């Protein structure tokens, strides 16, 4: 039995990629899962994988762009589970374009999904997380530390997400809460497939990190004894792009 057995975790972006891999890894340790996303069918498929592993999973249809969905999510999770021990922010949206032509509409959408939603959801769940000595994980990006051409909108939101995480850690360590930001490089997920298409390159998932690699470092941070805290994780594909 793991130290995380019977804990309750909320995972946004649980329908796909890194969020899905983290949800499955947590389930294998006996964690009870709240799976959050917009597509019920894909969430149901993840939930059924979790039930096969022998853990518990509820699904929640939430559009992170809508405040009302987030407030409803908090209420429903309290009804279903009574509280949360682990909050994983994995959902994210992406756009690309040079600043001369990038769409402001895209920037607003990315801000809502990548920054505002994790901020508001954390705020809503914080009293409960404090009661349970919770842990919060922010899936950021390597470009959340170092921006590069053509990803100004995405990179700006990920820099802001770093600030949210650092601020939260500073404010809540005294309550026993741990906060970790993960900064992955290119990872083989549907989002990376889209990125490659936008860059006009072929997608070969074997060239990249696997979502399970990211899940594995997240799990080790969550399992650490409470005498210590991992604050930031940088993780990159071993094979470098030519």
Ligand X SMILES: NC(=O)c1ccc[n+]([C@@H]2O[C@H](COP(=O)([O-])OP(=O)(O)OC[C@H]3O[C@@H](n4cnc5c(N)ncnc54)[C@H](OP(=O)(O)O)[C@@H]3O)[C@@H](O)[C@H]2O)c1
Instruction: Report residue 201 as tokens.
Output: 């390159």
Nearer to ligand X, 28 or 207 (CB): 207
Please tell me whether residue 218 binds ligand X under the rule CB under 6 A.
Answer: no
Task: Please give the Cα distance from 141 to 110 (Å, whole number).
Answer: 14
Q: How far is CA 161 from the centre of its chain?
A: 11
| CB 146 to ligand X: min, Å | 12
Cβ closer to ligand X: 50 or 191? 191
Contact (CB, 8 A) for 18 and 184: yes
Q: Does 122 bind ligand X (CB under 6 A)?
A: no
> Which two three-digit tokens encode residue 4?
């995380």
The residues, ordered by sequence, that sit 6+ positions from 203 with a Cβ below 8 Å of its Cβ are: 192, 193, 196, 197
The interface mask with ligand X, positions 65-84, x = CB under 6 A, is x-------------------
37 near ligand X, rule: CB under 6 A: yes
Pairing of strands 57-61, 232-235: unpaired
90 binds ligand X (CB under 6 A): yes
Interface with ligand X (CB under 6 A), residue from 55, 141, 172, 181: 141
Which of these ranges, 14-22, 24-32, 47-55, 167-175, lies near ligand X under the rule CB under 6 A?
14-22
Q: Residue 220: what are its φ and ψ, rounded to 5°? A: -65, -35
Q: Is 154 a catalytic residue?
A: yes
The one catalytic residue among 58, 154, 183, 203: 154
The radius of gyration of the chain's CA atoms, rounded to the nearest angstrom, is 17
Q: Which residues bind ligand X (CB under 6 A)?
A: 13, 15-19, 37-39, 42, 62-65, 90-93, 113, 139, 141, 184, 186-187, 189-192
């Amino acid at each position: 039995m793991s130290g995380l057995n019977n804990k309750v975790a909320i995972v946004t972006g649980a329908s796909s990629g890194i969020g899905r891999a983290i949800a499955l890894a947590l389930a294998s340790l006996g964690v009870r899962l709240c799976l959050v996303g917009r597509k019920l069918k894909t969430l149901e498929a993840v939930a059924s994988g979790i039930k096969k592993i022998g853990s518990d999973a509820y699904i929640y249809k939430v559009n992170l762009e809508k405040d009302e969905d987030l407030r409803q999510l908090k209420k429903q999770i309290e009804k279903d589970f009574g509280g949360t021990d682990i909050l994983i922010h994995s959902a994210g949206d992406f756009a690309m374009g040079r600043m001369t032509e990038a769409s402001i509409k895209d920037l607003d959408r990315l801000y809502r999904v990548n920054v505002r939603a994790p901020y508001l959801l954390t705020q809503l769940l914080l009293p409960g997380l404090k009661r349970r000595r919770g842990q919060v994980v922010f899936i950021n990006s390597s470009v959340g530390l170092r921006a590069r051409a053509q990803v100004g909108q995405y990179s700006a939101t990920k820099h802001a997400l770093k600030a949210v995480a650092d601020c939260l850690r500073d404010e809540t360590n005294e309550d026993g809460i741990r906060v970790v930001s993960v900064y992955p490089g290119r990872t083989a997920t549907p989002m990376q497939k889209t990125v490659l298409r936008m860059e006009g390159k072929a997608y070969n998932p074997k060239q990249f990190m696997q979502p399970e690699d990211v899940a594995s470092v997240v799990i080790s941070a969550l399992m650490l004894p409470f005498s210590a805290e991992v604050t930031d994780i940088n993780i990159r594909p071993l094979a470098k792009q030519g």
